[in-house]
Every structure is written in structure tokens, then in C-alpha cells.
Amino acid sequence: MSDAVFTVAFYVFSAVTVLAALGVVLKKNLVHSALLLILAFVGVAGIYVLLQADFIAAVQILVYAGAVAILVAFGVMLTKRGDIRESNLANRQKWPALFVVAGVFAVIYALLGQTNWGPLAAAGPEDSVGILATLMLTDFVVPFETAAILLTVAMLGAIVIAKEVKNSK
Amino acid sequence: MNIDYSLLTIEMLTAGLALGLLVLSLVVPGDQRKGFGYLTAAGLAIIFAISFAFNGVNKEIIGGMYLIDDFGNFFKQLALVAGVLVALASIPYVEKLESYRGEYYSLLVFATLGMVVMVGAGDLISLYLGLELMTITFFVLTAFKRGDSKSAEAGIKYVLLGAMSSAILLYGLSMLYGVAKTTVISELVSTIQAGQISPALILGLMFLVGGFGFKISAVPFHMWSPDVYEGAPTPVTSYLAVGSKAAAFAAFVRIFMGGMPQIQEIWIALFAGLSALSMIIGNLIAIPQTNIKRMLAFSGVAQAGYILTGMVAGTNAGIKGLAFYLMIYVFATIGAFTVAIGFSNATGSDEIKDMAGLSQRNPLMAAVMLVCLLSMAGIPPLAGFAGKLFLFSAIVAQGKLWLALVGLIMSMVSVYYYLSVAKSMYMGEAADPSPIEIPGSLKLVLIVSMVVTIFLGIYPAPLTGLAEAAASVFALK
């Protein structure tokens, strides 16, 4: 891939991500926000592809654009009462929030921009999935197992909190 | 690659206990689930006893990814002993639950496992996963009082603010990784050079301090703690107060003292500011509180400030003071909260004014509350005095007299609100002078907390030895 195509693709994906993310916050209809959220996830996945992180990009689309977005849509469907067109309202702190966010962004941008990140690593491996799989069960076995337990706890917790309170007894 | 799995005995036993309790709660019929609390406490106590076999074992697994050392073992023992006490203190509360009794204890052990993994982690990914295991379990436990709006509110607040702090922490960790190009903490020492500190590293450090500062509830990241402490079931509050705080402090020591001692002057300034702010604001806001749980929450903020002075010292003596203080803080805090559990179990109130005349209604509860509060204030001969002595002498040795002075002055301020509880308990006239009965498991927790707090104040040598061994893992001054 030539550098020019690469650069154009980067700016396209970045623009899609940022604009979609802005839409998530600014749209008044929660369903529109949820759909734009999917678009933002896809934009991020595109950037991962440009970074040659193919596995992460696939996971990003499967888990975030797929599962999480459907979860959000279900959440909207099951909890919404009243008019859907007015379901994602902003409070009165819009302008102070913009001010704070712009300040934080300026500080982070300035500090990260001045940093010399050092030489980039050589091109990524051909078979990233295979290497990741080996690493997860060797070097990263403790965090891998911890993550498994974490998921069990999350599922248990979701059942405990969400299941309706019985009035019997 | 060969891994010596016997080094992970504590982790595996804790995970096994949690999963076993989960299965058992499904198998045993609902009306026979009585002994779960004692079973949990006994299981954790056995693991606690086994953990002493690891004293003096200093090994690393998989090239420093996971560390089995005296420092990690000290904090594992802290998490386990706190788990035993909290499991016992939970028994009267869980008996009142309609359902999910077994699940409650299972989650309690999962939270312990999260702390155990967090304090043993040698790389940033294990550390983060341990932290999340602990935090997500606490989200569930906080909202465990089903149908209670305060508990639900506390749960939601904790989830939202906790998720935000996790995001900030993760952002900081990613910057640290970007600068150092490694997630293994012991390799940070060689990859981050003192001479060339990049702006991204400073930003990353600030985010790390913010993320962990949330967990230890240091000012200005403390705003969640009073509401969550008040809304959560009280046994959960006591575990949140000691366990979450101790594990986050252990992570601070691991990352900053273990990974970045070469750039000390940068983070010491950050910690000194946090410490002074926490001591001042925590103690001043604790004064007007009328609810015992909120008062203990703000006193916990102030305690985080005292403990942070151990980080400011940046020496082995500082780590020793920090470890010692956290261990005695476990007993003082769980003791005080257990009195609150027993009191609200009998009367349904958490208000300090309702505790008037407690010394006549239940002398044991009043005595334990008095001992625990005075220990937190640092009155000799109780354990808190020895702890503050270690911490403050460590920072004075580093020439930070001003911070020690702030600590001393604010300790005197704290005596005021601690003693006003004591005054209410001993001098106050009870509106309802009937005696308060508390269950045997609570009595056990109260007596253990009181005896340990008094014993370690008079004779701190056994714990000092352990804390010294824990601190000696780090090669500092």
C-alpha cells in the first residue's frame, strides 16, 4: 500500500470515528445514538487494520460493533418509556462541559505531541492470531485465567442484580 | 515453558473456594443454607494459615509476569484475614436476605481473589485484571440489598465512577507502555531513564495516580466514597474500605517504588500533594457527619492521606510503615464497622446520635468502638500510634517535616470527632435503655479486632518483622 492511500484512509477512518462519536452525544433520539455508536466502533476497527492489528480489528467488529451494539439496542427497547424522539437529552451543562473537554484535550494533545515515541517496531507478524493464542496460554496465563474468572463473576452479578425481587415468602 | 504451579497455591485455593461455594449454593436446598458464612470464614482461614508457608519465598514466574514475594504475601495475608473477619461479620446480614445467600459469600471470596492477584501481579495486565475482578465484584456486592433504593443508588454511582476511573487508569497504563515498550514492571526500571522523561510519561503517571487514587479514595478522587459507603450493605462497606484500599496501595508501591524509583522526585511531589489534601479535607469534613458510616468514610479518606506519607518517603522505611499501618487499619476499621453492623441489625439505625448510651446497652460494642476509633486517631498505647510513628518518622528522615506536621495537627483534629462518638456512647442518655444482643459471630469479630489492636500497640514486633520483610523486597534506600 502506498503512503498516500494509507494517509487518506487514516483521515477517512478518523473523520468517521470522530463525527459518529459526536453524533452519539448530540442526537436526541437514543436509537440514532446507538446506531452512530456502531459506526464509531467500525471506524476504530478501520484504524486497527491500518496498524496491521488484524485480530484486534476483527474482535472490535465482532464484539463491539456486533454484540455490544445489539446489547445497547435491546437495553433501549426494554427500558424505554414515552417518546423515543426525546430519549437522549443533554442537561444544562453543555457549555461548561465543552470548555472542560476542550481544555483536557489541549493538555493531552500538547503533551503527547511533544513526546518522542522512539522508533516503531518492525512490521507486525504474519500470523498474529497464532502468536496471540500461544502467548495467552504461556506468558499471559495468569491474566488469561483471571479474565475467565472475571467473566464468571460478571455473569453471576448480572443475574443477582437483574433478576426480579420475589415478593413471596 | 515450565511454570511451577505450586507457587500459585494461594491463588488457586482461593479461586477453588469461590467456585466451590458457588456450586454448593446451587446444590444445597434453599432452606438448609445456614452454614455458608462459617464455611467461607473457615476456608479463608485455612488459606491464610497456608500462606505462612510462603513467608520468605521470593520467586518470579514467567520472567517477572507474576511475583511470589514477601511483599505480595503480606498483602495476600491482609486480604485473607480481612476476608475471614468480613465473612463472619456478614452472617447476621445474610440471614436476613431472601435469596442468593451462597452467591454473596462466593462473591466475597472472588473479591478476595481479585486483591490476591492484584498484589502478586508483576506486570500491568495482570494487575489491571486483578483490579477489575475486585472492583466488578464490589459493584455487585454494593447493590446487593435488593429493593433498597440507597443500595441501588450506591451501586449505580460506584459503577459509573468506577468505570470512569478504570478508563483513566487504562489510558495512563497505555501511555506508560508506549513510553517504556514493556508491561513487565521490573523492566520499567531499565527502560525509563531518569535523564529523559517524556511529557507522555508525566501524563501517564498523573492518570495512574488518578485511577488508583480513586480506589484509595484520596482527595480529590474521594467523592464517591461517602455515598457508596452509606448505601452498600455494611459488611461490604467494611471490606471495600480496607481491602480495596490496601490492594490499591500495594499496586502503588509495586509500580512506583518497584518500577520507577529512578524518577522518584516527580511522583513524590504528586503524592505529597495528595497526602496533605486528603489529611486536611478528610478530617475537616468528617467533623459535621451525623451518620456513622459517612463519618467512617471521611475518616477513611484522611487515613488514606496518612498512609500516602509512606509513598512520599520513597524509602524502605516508608513501605514498612505503609504495610504496617494498612494491616492495623484492617482491624480498626472492621471493628468499628462491625459495631455499626450489630447496632443497625438491632435498632435499624446508623446515626451517631442514636448510639447514645451504648455503653449501658452493650458494653462490649462501646468498648470496641472506642478502641478502634482511638487507634485510628493514633492514641498510645494502641496500634494506630505505632503505625503513625513509623510513617511520620520515615518522612521526617527524608526531610519532609512539613508533611509530618500536617499529619500530627490533623490527627489532633480527628481526635475531636472520634471522641464525640465516644462521648455520645459513654455520657449520652439512651432513649431506649434496653440491652442490645448481638450474634456470636459478631462478638468474635469484635473481640479479635479489639485484642489485635491493643496487642499490636503494646507489642508491635511480630507485625513489624513481617512488614520489614515485605519492604525488603524493594531495593531502595
Q: Are A77 and A156 part of one and the same domain?
A: no
Q: What is chain A's percent helix, strand, coil content, to nearest 5?
A: 75, 0, 25
Q: How far is CA B328 from CA A148, B10, B59, B333, B385, in A?
A: 33, 22, 27, 9, 10
Instruction: Report the helix count and the strand count for chain B, using DSSP H and E.
Output: 20, 2
CB contact under 8 A, B98 and A166: yes
Q: Is residue A158 part of a domain?
A: yes
Picking from A38, A68, A88, the residue at the C-terminal end of a domain is A88
The CA distance from A119 to the nearest CA of chain B, in Å, is 11
Give residue A29's pLDDT.
Answer: 82
Q: What SS3 state is found at B121?
A: strand
Report chain A residues whose CB lies below 8 A from the CB of B130.
146
CB contact under 8 A, A157 and B65: no
Q: Which residue of A has its CA nearest to B104?
A: A160
Chain A contact for B4 (CB, 8 A cutoff): no
CA–CA distance, A16 with A30 (Å, rounded to integer): 19
The CA distance from B144 to the nearest CA of chain A, in Å, is 7
Q: Is residue A46 part of a domain?
A: yes
Q: Which residue of B has its CA nearest to A160?
A: B100
- CB of B266 closer than 8 Å to CB of B202: yes
Give residue B96's pLDDT.
Answer: 84
Other Cβ atoms closer than 10 A to A102: 10
Residue for grid cell 452509606: B230
Please give the ipTM for the structure prediction.
0.90
Report chain B residues whose CB lies below 8 A from the CB of A116.
198
Helix B316-347 and helix B245-252, axial crossing angle in degrees, nearest 10: 170
Report chain B residues whose CB lies below 8 A from the CB of A147.
129
Terminal C-alpha separation, chain A: 68
Q: Is residue A55 part of a domain?
A: yes
The residues, ordered by sequence, that sit 6+ positions from A148 with a Cβ below 8 Å of its Cβ are: none
Chain A contact for B195 (CB, 8 A cutoff): no
Q: Is residue A162 part of a domain?
A: yes
Report chain B residues whose CB lies below 8 A from the CB of A140.
65, 125
CATH number reported for the structural domain that contains residue A40 in this entry: 1.20.120.1200
Residue for grid cell 513510553: B179
CA–CA distance, B377 with B384 (Å, rounded to integer): 7
Q: How far is CA B233 from CA B44, B93, B97, B148, in A?
A: 21, 8, 11, 10
Q: Could you report the per-residue pLDDT of A60-88, keeping only the tens digit for each?
A: 999 988 888 888 878 877 876 667 666 66
* Secondary structure E strands in B214-313: none
- Considering only the beta carbons, identify the residue of B133, B139, B146 that sits closest to A149: B133
Domain region containing A147:
125-169
Give the number of beta-carbon pairs within 8 Å between A and B: 94
Q: Are A16 and A77 part of one and the same domain?
A: yes
Q: Are A11 and A78 part of one and the same domain?
A: yes
Chain B contact for A53 (CB, 8 A cutoff): no
Give A104-113 contacts, CB < 8 A, sequence gap 24+: A107/B203, A108/B203, A110/B199, A111/B199, A111/B200, A111/B202, A111/B203, A112/B175, A112/B199, A112/B200, A112/B203
Q: Are A51 and A131 part of one and the same domain?
A: no
The CA distance from A136 to the nearest CA of chain B, in Å, is 12
Q: Which residue of A has its CA nearest to B66?
A: A142
Beta bridge partners of B123: B184
CB contact under 8 A, B199 and A149: no
Among A115, A134, A140, A153, most B C-beta atoms within 10 A, so best to mutate, is A153
Chain A contact for B96 (CB, 8 A cutoff): no
The CA distance from B254 to the nearest CA of chain A, in Å, is 17
Terminal C-alpha separation, chain B: 36
Q: How far is CA B188 from CA A116, B15, B58, B192, in A?
A: 17, 30, 19, 6
Chain B contact for A150 (CB, 8 A cutoff): yes
Chain A contact for B66 (CB, 8 A cutoff): yes
Q: Are A6 and A76 part of one and the same domain?
A: yes
Report chain A residues whose CB lies below 8 A from the CB of B146.
161, 165
CA–CA distance, A65 with B209 (Å, rounded to integer): 32
Q: Are A60 and A139 part of one and the same domain?
A: no
Q: Is residue A140 part of a domain?
A: yes
Nearest to B310 by CA among B256, B382, B243, B242: B256
One digit per residue, the tens of pLDDT, for chain B of length 477 reads 577 888 999 999 999 999 999 999 888 876 666 789 999 999 999 999 999 999 988 998 888 899 999 999 999 999 999 999 999 999 998 888 877 888 999 999 999 999 999 999 999 999 999 999 999 999 999 998 877 888 889 999 999 999 999 999 999 999 999 888 889 999 988 888 777 788 899 999 999 999 999 999 998 999 999 999 999 999 999 999 999 999 999 999 999 999 998 888 889 999 999 999 999 999 999 999 999 999 999 999 999 999 999 999 999 999 999 999 999 999 999 999 999 999 998 888 889 988 988 999 999 999 999 999 999 999 988 999 999 999 999 999 999 999 999 999 999 999 999 999 999 999 988 888 888 889 999 999 999 999 999 999 999 999 999 999 999 998 776
Nearest to B240 by CA among B227, B251, B256: B227
Q: Is residue A108 part of a domain?
A: no
In the predicted structure, residue A169 carries a pLDDT above the cut 50: no
Among A56, A68, A161, A169, most B C-beta atoms within 10 A, so best to mutate, is A161
The CA distance from B154 to the nearest CA of chain A, in Å, is 13
Q: Which residue of B has its CA nearest to A139?
A: B62
Q: Which residue of A has its CA nearest to B133?
A: A150
Q: Which of residues 134-193 of B touch A (CB under 8 A)?
A: 136-137, 139-140, 143-144, 146-147, 155, 175, 178-179, 181
CB contact under 8 A, B144 and A160: yes
- CB of B307 closer than 8 Å to CB of B318: no
CB contact under 8 A, B103 and A156: yes
CB contact under 8 A, A157 and B137: yes
Q: What SS3 state is found at B312?
A: helix
Beta bridge partners of B184: B123
Give residue A168's pLDDT.
Answer: 42
Q: Count the domains in chain A.
A: 2
- CB of B119 closer than 8 Å to CB of B326: no
